Amino acid sequence: MKTFFKSLGILFLISIFISCEVNEYELVEENEIELSNNNINIEKTISDPECTRIVGSPDPVCFTGDREYSVRHSFGDGAAIRWSIRSGNGVFIIGSATSNFVTIRFTSQFRGGEIQVIVGNCTSILELSSCGVVECPPNTAPARPGAITFDIFLGSRPNNGDFCTNTVSNALWVSNVECAVDYIWTISPSGFGIKLEKSPVHPATALVEVNQPGEYIVSVKAVSASGLISTARSISLIAENCNNGGIF
The pTM for the full model equals 0.52
Those residues whose C-beta lies under 8 Å from the C-beta of residue 13, and which sit 6 or more positions away, are: none
Contact (CB, 8 A) for 185 and 202: no
> What is residue 67's predicted lDDT score, i.e. its pLDDT?
85
Proportion of the chain in helix, strand, coil states, percent, rounded to 5: 20, 40, 40
* Pairing mode of beta strands 163-164, 233-240: parallel
Q: Hey, what domains does the chain have and what are their CATH numbers?
A: 52-129 (2.60.40), 149-244 (2.60.40.10)
Greatest Cα pair distance, the chain, in angstroms, is 114
What pLDDT score was predicted for residue 96? Answer: 87
* Bond from prior residue into 58 cis (ω within 30 degrees of 0): no
> pLDDT at position 218, please?
97
Q: Mark out the alpha helices in the chain (DSSP H runs).
A: 2-47
pLDDT at 20: 41
CA proximity to 72, closest of 100, 111, 104: 100
Q: For the CA atoms of 43, 48, 52, 55, what is the dihedral angle to 10 degrees?
A: 130
Q: What are residue 246's phi and psi, to 5 degrees? A: 85, 10
| Dihedral of alpha carbons 77, 82, 88, 93, sign | positive
pLDDT tens track, the chain, 248 positions: 444 444 444 444 444 433 444 343 333 333 332 322 222 222 223 344 557 778 877 677 776 778 888 888 777 777 889 999 998 888 889 888 998 889 888 877 788 889 999 988 888 888 888 876 556 778 889 999 999 999 887 667 888 899 999 998 899 999 888 888 899 999 999 999 999 999 887 888 999 999 999 999 999 999 988 899 999 999 999 999 988 644 34
- Helical ranges in 48-135 per DSSP H: none
Q: What confidence score (pLDDT) does residue 239 get?
A: 94
Using CA atoms, how far residue 135 sits from 20, 65, 79, 225, in Å, is 73, 9, 37, 11
